[in-house]
Amino acid sequence: MKKLIEKYFLPSEYVNRFSEISVEMLKNKNKKAVMIDLDNTLVAFDDSNANEEVLNWIKELKENEIEVLILSNGNRNRVERFAIPHDLNYIHSARKPLMKNFHLGLRMLNVLKREVVMVGDQLMTDVLGANRVGVDSILVLPIKDKDGYATFLNRRMERVVMKWMDNKELINWRENSGNV
Ligand SMILES: [Mg+2]
């Protein structure tokens, strides 16, 4: 059981916010690209605008030759409204944790698995998908507590797994975040 949960649900790392992920941190791990979730990772699930913090973060990564791809389960409208005005690479309706669009993402970015990291706020989609494909992952806290209805079940399952990992001291999430 422990091995199985570690294999599928344990992120490589976890931070509070996307903005804590620095160029230096990524370079140290020899990463050339970031696949990043949209809803509740970059912006709140009900916010469709890329704010200055998000855009500056992406700009800094790109200036340092780290490519960024938005890998979102959100629908076309939602994701395109966010990505197109700022000329961001994206995959919408990704159906994470299915592996297909992780592989498509790797091809779009033209990188190897070990050269990319998946950043997201959900164990059941972002981390599980990355682990299945064999890509490193960074879990972030959801930007907004209140969530879309579609993620309700995922969140409940996630809490069970989180609590289990916390008990086994695999992850020190609550102490780290201070607001879960
Ligand atoms: Mg999300």
Ligand 1 centre distance from Cα of residue 2 (Å): 25
Model pLDDT, residue 41: 96
Model pLDDT, residue 55: 97
Ligand 1 centre distance from Cα of residue 91 (Å): 14
Q: Where in the chain are the domains?
A: 2-177
Angle 170-173-176 (CA atoms, 0-180°, nearest 5)?
120
Q: What is the pLDDT along the chain (180 residues), one digit of tens a residue?
A: 778 888 899 999 999 999 999 999 999 999 999 999 999 999 998 888 899 999 999 999 999 999 999 999 999 999 999 999 999 999 999 999 999 999 999 999 999 999 999 999 999 999 999 999 999 999 998 888 655 555 666 777 777 787 787 777 777 665 554 443
Ligand 1 centre distance from Cα of residue 103 (Å): 19
d(CA 76, CA 4): 33
pTM, two decimals, is: 0.85
Ligand 1 centre distance from Cα of residue 35 (Å): 12
d(CA 142, CA 121): 5
Give CA separation, 109 vs 1, 10, 19, 84, 91, in Å: 34, 24, 21, 17, 11
Ligand 1 centre distance from Cα of residue 43 (Å): 9
Bridge-partner residues for 27, per DSSP?
A: none
Ligand 1 centre distance from Cα of residue 47 (Å): 12
Ligand 1 centre distance from Cα of residue 120 (Å): 6
The domain over range 2-177 is classified in CATH as 3.40.50.1000: yes
